[in-house]
Amino acid sequence: MQTIENTNNEIHENLIERTDIRNVAIIAHVDHGKTTLVDGLLKQSHIFRDNQQMGELIMDSNDQERERGITILAKNTAIRYRDVKINIIDTPGHADFGGEVERVLNMADGCILLVDAAEGPMPQTRFVLQKALELNLKPIVVINKIDRKDARIDYVIEKTQDLFLELATDDSHLDFPILYAIGRNGVAMYKPDDEQKDLQPLFDTIVNHVPAPKVDADAPFQLLVTALDYDDYKGKYAIGRIIRGRISPNTAIARIDRSGEVSRQKVSLVFSYIGLQRGEVAEALAGDIIALTGVADVNIGETLADIDYPEALPLIEISEPTLKMTFGVNTSPLSGREGKFSTSRQIRARLYRELETNVSLRVVDGNTPDEFVVSGRGELHLSVLIETLRREGYEIQVSRPEVITRESEDGHLEEPVEHLVIDTKDIYMGVLTEALAARKAQLTNMINDGNDNIRIEYDIPTRGLIGFRNAFLTLTKGNGAMNSLLKGFVPWMGKINSSRMGAMIASEQGTAVIYGLNNAQVRGDTFIEPGTPVYEGMIIGLNARPDDLVVNVCKEKQKTNIRSSTSDISVRLTPPILMSLEQSLDFINNDELVEVTPKTIRLRKRYLTQHERSRMRPHND
């Protein structure tokens, strides 16, 4: 270790450069290959036994992460390369989970920015790079997936350099190495045409370019809690990087909450990371990323400090939510049949518990004791929460997402606007332009690569994006990708008219039968199969006309004593449209709800009976 004299006559008398450690975050846009690259780093650092089968996407341990193919939660791991321990922080790439990026980047001294060799910098690339440069992290740029047929390396490097020029706040930010990689094959090169061997060039660049932490290990202890974990044996883990000092088990410390209140706590155990495991250590020094147990009530953003010097660190600034939904107790006639937790007390306790770890989320009590207003960063952010509750056995009903507006200084209503980037074939330009114009989108840029592929960029109000993802997949026949990022707030842009047709609504409670569904399919598309339990007010299909239509899908064919040679031939139904949770949230109108249980997703009217709907119609309009 090298000692560096510090001229400031504060608590820190001298700083020590810990050359045995590097703290680096991996940041990128969604699907640019972060988690796959971390797989390669873990495997090539030989932290697993030779006979240990780890598979792929090792860091995506959450079921939803594996199913959706995205990283949702930021996670730490650590590897050894020669005599250096490299702490790696894997971050989400989707804009809806930007809060996860914001809360963990301050644990790092450097960052690896991954950019797809074909797509180039995308909206989330700008967001995560801006956050990294604000924290003065040393960047390493890795152009990934250079084996793609449509790779355009020179163009991507040029656009990446333009992005750095735009976002850099210091000359040192423009001094970054560029590597080339095929994360899936576990290879990195200094030049695109170098021999493809392994990830050693990346390991060497991390060690040589990411600064070693400069810390004062003898100063009073200080740690900012940036993540939490829990297990049944050791309780809650407080995870963060030691800013100064050292910590060992059975030490008394001070906990400083977000309001500045100080309480006395005692650390039970201290854990350090190596690979995917946490191991107990006798002592940890400044610069280490650790986990502590014993501080039961700690929350993200709080400071743990020396008992004699309870000094708080700056709070983590998290961007505010842009969408809100109402979560409520399931009030349908089928409630309580499929879920373990369905009371308002259970739902409320679970939502407020989520706030401990989900830093971008906001929860407030609703207008009635059975409702809760939940605010998040986007549709995906909220739908992941709903799916998590559903898998845990909760039964709820949720409303259509709404944007969170605010009032400007001069008293005008403002709404969030997003920068939308679409990559698709140029033949879909017309239908997309028409659909987006109806949603108040304004074209800002268009690039045609000469091979029938285009990138079009829009500024669009956040509410214009609600329900657009499914329309986009239909309009482009699946030949496209769309990404968006919050840009800011603008004056309210006026009403957006819904283009959805009316709903087909069940008229009575019972079980759907073939005869009733066949009659319904004459009027439109159905969402349910024969044998599905239904109730009055449940949405069973989409009408071919703009108005809602009440139908009886439980109606049996009338029995007579007259028989014909064709009477017993079975009716052939058109297969129903089965919608996912996200599709259901996109589909519903303001007077409709999605009923979510561990086994079923149902659509329903907010008011179930025809009488109630007629009485409340003036209020809905």
Known binding positions for GTP: 31-36, 144-147
387 CB-near residues (< 8 Å, 6+ apart): 64, 581
606 CB-near residues (< 8 Å, 6+ apart): 399, 591, 592, 593, 616
* CA distances from residue 313 to 74, 108, 223, 259, 267 in whole angstroms, order as listed: 21, 16, 8, 12, 19
Q: Which amino acid is at 20?
A: D
Distance CA 447, CA 542 (A): 37
Annotated binding site: 31-36, 144-147
Residue (of 360, 356, 302, 314) closest to 99 by Cα position: 360
549 CB-near residues (< 8 Å, 6+ apart): 502, 503, 504, 505, 523, 524, 543
Distance CA 10, CA 6 (A): 9
Distance CA 320, CA 302 (A): 19
CB-neighbour burial class of residue 409 (10 A; exposed 0-12, middle 13-18, buried 19+): exposed
Return phi, psi of residue 223, to 5°: -145, 135
Query: 383: which 2 tokens?
Result: 């739908």
Distance CA 208, CA 200 (A): 12
Residue (of 366, 421, 420) closest to 398 by Cα position: 366
Helix then strand count (H, E) for the chain reads: 14, 38
Exposed e or buried b per residue across 151-179, where buried means at least 16 C-beta atoms within 10 angstroms of its C-beta = bebeebbeebeebbeeebeeeebeebebb
Q: Which amino acid is at 6?
A: N
CB-neighbour burial class of residue 357 (10 A; exposed 0-12, middle 13-18, buried 19+): middle
For residues 76 and 88, is the Cβ–Cβ distance under 8 A? yes
Instruction: Please spell the DSSP secondary structure of 31-79, one letter per residue.
Output: TSSHHHHHHHHHHHTT-S-TT----S-TT--SHHHHHHTS--S-EEEEE
Please, which residues bridge with residue 266 across strands? 252
Q: What share of the chain is helix, strand, coil (3-state, %, to 5)?
A: 25, 35, 45
